[in-house]
Amino acid sequence: MRYPNGKTYKKGEIKKRKTPSDISISSANRGMDLENDINESNDYYREKNIALIYKRPTPINIVKVDYSKGARITDAYFEKQSTTDYNGVYKGKYIDFEAKNTKSKTSFPLANITSHQIDHLKRVNEQGGIAFFIIGFETLNEIYLLDSSFVIYFYENGDRKSIPYEVFQKEGVLIKQGYHPRLYYIDAVEEKYFSK
Amino acid sequence: MRYPNGKTYKKGEIKKRKTPSDISISSANRGMDLENDINESNDYYREKNIALIYKRPTPINIVKVDYSKGARITDAYFEKQSTTDYNGVYKGKYIDFEAKNTKSKTSFPLANITSHQIDHLKRVNEQGGIAFFIIGFETLNEIYLLDSSFVIYFYENGDRKSIPYEVFQKEGVLIKQGYHPRLYYIDAVEEKYFSK
């Protein structure tokens, strides 16, 4: 299997897993609220002037507005996100990412990723932006940053249905969890994209 | 009056105005739909892989959702934008801007700019992003890019009510108008931020 970085993937080549002591606080017992954790982390990074990342609002298609009530929306529906959930700026660079959870221990299913999102990620890469996924393996209590090139690769090649867990271990960056911020995901961005 | 770039502003120091021949198509007779023109230009820049800029959706506060109708929103209202209207990526750099029209010939009023937006622009600058305003002087059929530092300056100093037209002529970049894209605003971004 050929990877975006040109390396060939072989089973057994897995990097040593980080030990539980690398994770500050275990959140195994309280379930994983990835969206909430990322929003909290973004608040932290914003307050500390470390990064400026916002969640994009879910696009809403407005059908009817009642102006007699001061522009009250009385009929509308949610639309599927055609881009990603988050974007912003870190050290002047454009940052763009999607966050998803899975209960699987063995792979991340790509069923919920749309072709519009893949198209968007490609365009971000073409523009020299930084595009990645934050994937939470709930059952394992592990959260990884994985560069978008791998997501694009697995979406477009092979069975197209999932990314094996081993790919996250080998090519992803394990995101340290803590209390405040909940996710040190900018550390992972720094390690992956800025420490060359 | 002290400017963000440290220069002192004097009346009469105005640069020669660009001539009407610099403007490909006159839109004087069809009014100015700045938002539509920017969206159309963004589509063009996206198709041509020149830049990837999106309009942020107007934030909506959802009060009630009817799940019996398949998640139909039955009560919601518009919220004030606390960031800016547009963001994205050009040549790897984070781009963030607000677009506004004015019918005034002499100044751009700051009444519709919120302190949250000023705060946001400062944070973008601190993160090394590129932040500016696109201001349309409808009556003059002129559209300028003006760096956010001037908007922040006039918001926080002096009478805080408006930015004189002369500042746009002297410190802004006149955006060329055309058919497709309607606004060559990335040319203005290139001139202002990338041609040093």
At residue B49, does pLDDT exceed 60?
yes
Predicted complex ipTM exceeds 0.90: no
Q: Please judge whether B49 and A96 are an interchain contact, meaning their C-beta atoms are less than 8 angstroms apart.
A: no
pLDDT value at residue B11:
42
pLDDT value at residue A10:
46
Best residue of B82, B94, B116, B130 to probe chain A, by most A CBs closer than 10 Å: B94
Percent of chain A having pLDDT more than 70? 83
What's at A102, amino acid-wise? T
Going through B92-189 in order, the beta strands assigned E by DSSP cover 93-102, 107-109, 130-137, 142-147, 162-164, 173-174
At residue A24, does pLDDT exceed 90?
no
DSSP state of B139: G
Q: φ, ψ for residue B30 (rounded to 5)? A: -115, 15
Tens digit of pLDDT for each residue in A34-81?
999 999 999 999 999 999 999 988 888 899 999 987 889 999 998 887
The pLDDT of A154-173, averaged and rounded, is 91
Q: For B84, name the nearest residue in chain A, comparing CA atoms only.
A: A54
Taking contacts as CB-CB distances below 8 angstroms, the residues of chain A near B124 are 52, 89
Cβ atoms of residues B134 and B185 within 8 Å: yes
Fold of domain B26-56+82-194: Trna Endonuclease; Chain: A, domain 1 (3.40.1350)
Q: How many residues does chain B have?
A: 196
Q: For B87, name the nearest residue in chain A, comparing CA atoms only.
A: A88
- Report the gap between the CA of A71 and the closest CA in chain B (Å): 7
Domain ranges in chain B are 26-56+82-194
pLDDT value at residue A71:
86
Among the partner residues A51, A71, A96, nearest to B127 by beta-carbon distance: A51
**A21/A176 Cα distance (integer angstroms):** 10
At residue B16, does pLDDT exceed 60?
no
Q: Please judge whether B124 and A77 are an interchain contact, meaning their C-beta atoms are less than 8 angstroms apart.
A: no
C-alpha neighbours within 13 Å on the C-beta side of residue A93: 16
The pLDDT of B132-148, averaged and rounded, is 97
Q: Residue A25's pLDDT band (boundaries 50, 70, 90)? A: very low
At residue A192, does pLDDT exceed 80?
yes
At residue B22, does pLDDT exceed 70?
no
pLDDT value at residue B70:
83
- Residue B181 vs residue B71, higher pLDDT: B181
Percent of chain B having pLDDT more than 70? 83
**A135/A32 Cα distance (integer angstroms):** 11
The pLDDT of B76-86, averaged and rounded, is 88
Q: Please judge whether B74 and A74 are an interchain contact, meaning their C-beta atoms are less than 8 angstroms apart.
A: yes
pLDDT value at residue A4:
61
CA-CA distances (angstroms) from residue A128 to A6, A87, B8? 19, 14, 37
Residues B78, B82, B86, B88, CA torsion sign: negative
Mean model confidence pLDDT for chain B: 86
pTM score, two decimals?
0.81
Q: Which CATH architecture has domain A22-194?
A: 3-Layer(aba) Sandwich (3.40)
**B122/B116 Cα distance (integer angstroms):** 10
SS (H, E, C) chain A: CECCCCCECCCCCCCCCCCHHHCCCCCHHHCCCHHHHHHHHHHHHHHCCCCEEEECCCCEEEEEEEHHHCCEEEEEEECCCCCCCEEEEECCEEEEEEEEEECCCCEEECCCCCHHHHHHHHHHHHCCCEEEEEEEEHHHCEEEEEEHHHHHHHHHCCCCCEEEHHHHHHHCEECCECCCCCECHHHHHHHHHHCC
The pLDDT of B99-106, averaged and rounded, is 95
pLDDT value at residue B92:
96
